[in-house]
A and B are shown apart, each in its own frame.
Chain A
Amino acid sequence: MKRLIIATLMVAVVALGAMAQKTTLNVLYYVDATVAGYDVDQAIWAKFEASNPDIDLQKEELFSEPFHQKMQAYIAAGTLPDVFYMWPSGRSEAVYEKHLAKDLSKLLGADFLKNFAPTATNPKALGDSIMPASQYQAIIPQAFTLTTAVYVNTKLLKDNGFAVPKTYADLKKMVPKLKAKGISVMMLPDKDGWPAQSCLFSTISGRMVGDAFIDQVKASKAKFTDKPFVAALQAYANLFKDGIIPAEDMNVGYSEGTGLFAAGKAAMYIDGDWRTGGYITDKTSNTALISPADQESSFDIINFPSIPGEKNAGVVSGIAGVGYGINNALPSGSAKEKAAVRLLKYLYSPEVQKIRYESGAYVPTLKGVTGTVEPIIKKMAAYKNAVAKTTYVLDGVLDPSVFNVLNAGLQGMGLGNVEPAKVAADMQTAMDAWLASKK
């Protein structure tokens, strides 16, 4: 009897041991369930779970505001998940400031990092503009993002006797004829507030004043109220005054844009390079907003036409993309840390990156990824190759207290009820307050 008890106990201990070896990994992930390619995304995670039975993956999926609320709550309570989705700037600022994510260059090692584009693994080269505050490798950006891309309906232009525009004058020339057809020349859905800044004004500012000027403003050596910057704001406002972008776009939601453009309501559409994913074939329903054949024959992606008075021709706003951070609180050498590293290495593997590339999510920073993609993604890659120089995305380099003023001001100017000088003055006020709080 005694033996039996001992044997039972031993079995129990062994069983418990086996259970204890299963490492729980909490992941906070950012995804929208209706995005094209959600099935592919889920398959990526399912495969990791299947091939790592010793890891118990607890994935929390949130999107948009609920994600950010939850992140702030986790930070305040000091209970960040083991692995979390993270931005190289902006809304993840608290993570950098408090050093809440591990330094991946130490954790993953040079051998792993050398597989990526050099800029993606060199926080110093990225500059404090992109990896703010502490300048360390909290994430490996999965991609580099150009936040301005002009999607062109070339067929629509051709039918109306226009060529793909190269200058501002070309745009202006299109206004009467396209208006007569009930079509906008350019579309910029900005109800959500950030697209006008991220996808358009950052590029305009880069061309009109350049990064050096922004750096000077941050160092109190220049002001937003200086003439060149006001002129940049004015150049943006002119797009609306001249009828190129309709004022009503300020009340069109970001999610409405792609459909309206695909339906031919605008000849051109301003968005970021990531939006190609919205047009390609959705594997689950086998439908595409723009069919591959049309992508090939009737659409193209171009740089924003030249603007009168620009200094830096052809530059486009760009920023390092998102990645995954590992909680700095995990003890080094712990099972959890090892599991987190295994997950990261999987997520950055050529296998997964190829899937991301093919699903139109982005062009990876991981070297040597190729795949079969739809025409619009090829065209996007060609456009990105042709961009010689990038400039700051303003919400990546300015404090939220400043760029929120800009975002709101851009909406106001689009609607035609605020003057550029006023927006510049408000921005400077916010900037001064921020500079003062830094001291």
Chain B
Amino acid sequence: MSEEIKTTALGRFGAAFAKFLAYFVMVLFSLMTLYPIFWLIMNSFKPTREFQVSQLGFPHVPTLKNYGGPYGAWKLGDFDKLIPNSVIYTLGATFGIIILSVLAGFAFAKIPRKATKLIYASFVIGLLLSVQSLLIPLFLEVNIMGIYNTRLAVLLVYIGAGLPMGIYLSTEYIRGIPTSLVESARIDGAKYFRIFRSIILPMTIPVATTLAILNITGIWNEFALINILVSKTELKSLPLGMYRFSGSLSSDWGKQFAALTIGTLPMLVFYFIFRKQITQGVAAGAVKG
């Protein structure tokens, strides 16, 4: 009797403690995320001189100088040209990755073929590659193909680089769809493309959402590949604009923070608008066991 009381008391204390701990960790991590972003944005409204004297305080007189005007970050970084490009690359490549991955994923998962094992494995190996090792060969290839300095090259490379993950996730996902669905449709005489369109495609929306989320943030922020693939400002993307402000000789912190804020805000806004869809999307189709 007394033993039981003890355990429940202990249990209650334990539960309270666990709750406290849970809040503590959550608050800690959230602060570590929110404060730096707040700090970044706040400092983008400070003149560089003020930042050098006080990195922590609020701006005395908030200024838009770092952003606007003929020598503000917006103009210097050519962000008006870069942002539309970033949108094109991000949406175009993400769409390409999803379509190609889901198509191939269906074939790998539901059309029995000897070749699958080898081809699928070769895609999965791609997960292990570091882009930095491919910069020079890619540059050579793009030149040989005559598509250097084109949007096509950027889209092609982004799609190619996203395929290993895309195919891995969609194949694993489609494998989880009961094969009997496909088989019964086959018995009814449906062709594979028809099955794909009317049965599989609607069912892959969750994994497509997952892929979209992973790729949109990844491509939006990518800079090593695109730096090699284009030289014209009209074709560059946002991170290259941001990078121009973070050189080691850079002395203008105000503009640097402004440029970084410009680069970060669109994604944050996107995220907060679509947060529900994003988390639910992942919730439905994320990496499966």
Contacts and interface: CB of A to CB of B under 8 A. Distances in A.
Interface in B202-242: 223-224, 227-228, 231-233, 240
Given A70-B227, A285-B71, A255 B251 contact: yes
Contacts of B227: 62, 66, 69-70
A34 B143 contact: no
Contact of B136 (A60, A73, A255, A263): A73
A64 B244 CA distance: 9
B71 A35 contact: no
Contacts of A254: 248-249
Contacts of B139: 73, 76-77
A368 interface: no
B148 A79 contact: yes
B49 interface: yes
A258 B252 CA distance: 11
A259 B253 CA distance: 10
Nearest to A194: B248
A289 B49 contact: yes
B228 A284 contact: no
A282 B47 CA distance: 13
Given A33-B245, A38-B76, A262-B52, A255 B250 contact: yes
Interface in A56-74: 58, 60-64, 66, 69-70, 72-73
A66 B243 contact: yes
A39 interface: yes
A192 interface: yes
B251 A34 contact: yes
A202 B232 CA distance: 39
Interface in A209-267: 253-255, 258-260, 262-263
Given A32-B249, A77-B140, A289-B251, A259 B243 contact: no
B52 A263 contact: yes
A255 B249 contact: yes
B65 interface: yes
Interface string B254-279: 01100000000000000000000000
Interface string B24-48: 0000000000000000000000011
A70 B71 contact: no
Given A34-B255, A284-B71, A61 B244 contact: yes
A36 B255 CA distance: 11
Interface residues of B, number: 38
B187 interface: no
Interface in A65-96: 66, 69-70, 72-73, 76-77, 79
Nearest to A261: B52
Contact of B71 (A39, A58, A64, A259): A39
A64 B249 CA distance: 9
A73 B135 contact: yes
Contacts of B53: 263
Contacts of A73: 135-136, 139, 228
Contacts of B224: 69
A278 interface: yes
Nearest to B53: A263
Nearest to B132: A69
Contacts of B69: 284
Contacts of B251: 34-36, 255, 258-259, 278, 289
A32 B52 contact: no
A76 B135 CA distance: 11
Nearest to A81: B231
B231 A58 contact: yes
Contact of B52 (A69, A260, A282, A285): A260
A33 B135 contact: no
A287 interface: yes
Interface in B48-86: 48-49, 51-53, 65, 69-71, 76-77
Interface string B174-203: 000000000000000000000000000000
Given A76-B136, A285-B65, 8 more contacts: A28-B231, A32-B247, A32-B249, A35-B251, A62-B227, A63-B244, A63-B249, A79-B148
14 contacts: A32-B244, A38-B76, A62-B227, A66-B240, A70-B227, A70-B228, A73-B139, A76-B139, A77-B143, A192-B248, A253-B248, A262-B52, A263-B53, A287-B47
Closest 9 CB pairs of A and B: A259-B52, A34-B252, A284-B71, A60-B231, A73-B139, A32-B247, A34-B250, A33-B244, A63-B247
